[in-house]
Amino acid sequence: MSAFHPLVYRVPFRLNRRSFLRGAAAVSAGLPSQTLWAAASASASGFVPSQLIATSGSGRQVTLTSADVKDLRAALSGQLMLAADPGYEQARRVWNGSINRHPALIARCATRKDIVRAVQFARSHALLTAVKGGGHSISGQSTCEGGLLIDLSLMRGIQVDPAGRLARAQPGVLLAELDAQCQKVGLVTTLGTASDTGIAGLTLGGGQGRLMRKLGLACDNIRSFELVTADGRIRTVSAKENRDLFWALRGGGGNFGIVSAFEYHLHPLAHPVLAGGRMYPFSLSAPVIRGIIDMADQAPDELYLSVSIVNDDGGNGLQPGRYVAAELVYAGDPRAGERFLTQLGKLGKPVTDTITAKPYLVAQNGPTGAAPRAMPPGLGVYVRSGFTSTPSDTLIRDMIHAFEQGPPWLDEIGLGPQGGAVARIKPDATAFWNRGAQYELILDGLWADHSQDPHNIAVLRDMWKAFEPSMKGYYVNTEPSAAEQRLRATYGDNYSRLVQLKNQYDPTNLFRLNANIKPSVVG
C-alpha cells in the first residue's frame, strides 16, 4: 500500500487539473498479458481453468490448480477475481495510468478473516503479492503482474468515539471519508492532502498533511493497529502490545504485514481555518519562493505553507502556462492568521487569490467539499522527491531553471513544509527517521500519451540528478525507491532495526512491493 500527495493536490484552488485527470481517465489500458488470458479469454464469469499460471515473489512461474483457486474463492466473504471475471479490469487498476499490470488473482477482501486467508494462500504458494488500499499508488506497487493482488477497497468501515476522541477505520477508507466522519463531531487528525488517497498507505509511510506541523504526522496519531502478519496471525499492535511492531509500522510502510484496522487519536477542530492559495506570474518565481521559505522558517506550528512552480492548463480563468503557486493553511483562529496575509502581500501581486476562512473539509477537499471521485487509470505519472534543509538560493535557481528547460508535461517542482510537531519527536522514536528535515522537494510530470511512458520517465529521472546532491532520504509515500542507498538514507539509524524486524516477521519477504526493507536472511 502506498499513497502519494503530489503538489498538484496541495493547492486545492487548482481543481481544474483534477477535472483534467478525470477526463483523461479512459486513456490508458493496453491488453492483458497472454499468459493470464490464454485459459480464460472466452470464459464466463466464475470459470476456473484447470491450471492457472501465476508468478512467485522470486519471479518464477507457479502453477495453481483449479482446486487451489476454488478453495480460496469459497473461503472468502468477499470476491476472488480472475482475468475474465466482470470487474477485473477496474479492480486491477491503480491511479497512475502508466501502470498496466495484470494480477493472476485479485482477492477483494471484505473482512479481516479474508485478509488472513489471502495471506495464507499467498504464502503457501510463494506468490508475488501486492496490497491495495485506496489505489492512489503512484509507484504502481499496489498491483502486480501475474501475482496475487489483495484488494482492501471494500473494507470502508469507520467508527468515531467523540468522548474518547478516537476513530477506528478499516484499510479501504479514503481520506475524505475519515475527515468527514471526524468533522461531524468537530474532531480531526492529520491526514494527507489528496482526498482520494487511502488512509492505509498514507499512515504506514508516515502521513504528511496540512495539520502535521501542529498535530504531528498521521502515524504519530495512531493509538493502535490490527495487523495480519506474513504467518497469517492477527495481532493487536500498540504501545502496550507488540511494541516492536508498533514502532515499525509508524513509518516503515507495508513491510511487516497488512493492517486490517487503524485507531487514530483525534483533536478538536470545529472552527473554520484560514486556507487557500495564491498564484503569481512565473517571472516572480524567485522572490515568491524565497519569501515563502522565509515565512515558513519563522512560522508557528499552526501555519502550513507550500510553494511550487506549476504548469497550469488555464482552467482557473488564467492563460495556460507557467506560474508559481503558494498554499496557506492556518489551523488556529482565522483572525490570528490574517497577519500572514500581510506578509504574503509583500511578495508581489497574485493573479489569483482564494485564501479565506472556510470549513476544514473545504480546505482539504476543495471549494465544493465533495467526496472523492473514483480514480481509474488515467494520465501517466512519475515523481521524484527528497528531504532537504532550508533551500539555498542555488537550489531555488535550479528549480526555476529546470522548469524553464523542462517539457510542457512537467507538472510541478515544489517545496512542502516539515518541522513543527513532526520535528519534536526523536528520529528513533518511530521508524520515520527524517524528523529533522525542513522541506520536501517534489518533482512530478503528467502526460496522456502512454506510448511516451519510458521516454518521459527517463527525462524526469535525468532532471532529478540536479537535485539529488541536496537531498537526504525521501518520503516513501511519494516514491518507494528500490535503491538501497536511498532507502538507508531515508531510514538512517533505524534501518538496521527494521531489517531485524523484517527477519522476524517476514523472513521470506512476502510483503516486498513497497519501499522494501529486505530481510537479511534471504539476501
Q: What is the pLDDT of residues 9-62, one digit of tens each?
A: 333 333 333 232 223 333 223 323 333 333 333 333 578 999 999 999 999 999
C-alpha cell at 387: 528531504
What is the structure's pLDDT at 378? 82
Q: Are 306 and 386 in contact (CB under 8 A)?
A: no
C-alpha cell at 486: 536511498
Positions in the chain whose pLDDT score sits under 50: 1-44, 370-377, 523
What is the structure's pLDDT at 35? 32
Cα distance between residue 478 and residue 480, in whole Å: 7
What is the structure's pLDDT at 522? 54
Cα dihedral sign for 282, 285, 286, 287? positive
Cα distance between residue 268 and residue 519, in whole Å: 41
Burial class (CB in 10 A: 0-12, 13-18, 19+), 22: middle
DSSP alpha helices (H): ranges in 6-158? 7-10, 16-23, 34-37, 66-75, 88-92, 112-124
Architecture (CATH level 2) of domain 158-269: 2-Layer Sandwich (3.30)
What is the structure's pLDDT at 484? 84
DSSP state of 127: B
Domain locations in the chain as residue ranges: 23-151, 158-269, 272-484
The CATH topology of domain 23-151 is 3.30.43
DSSP assignment of 461-503 equals HHHHTTTGGG-----TTT-----HHHHHHHHGGGHHHHHHHHH
- CATH 3.40.462.20 for domain 272-484, yes or no, is yes
Q: Which amino acid is at 108?
A: R
C-alpha cell at 347: 511578495
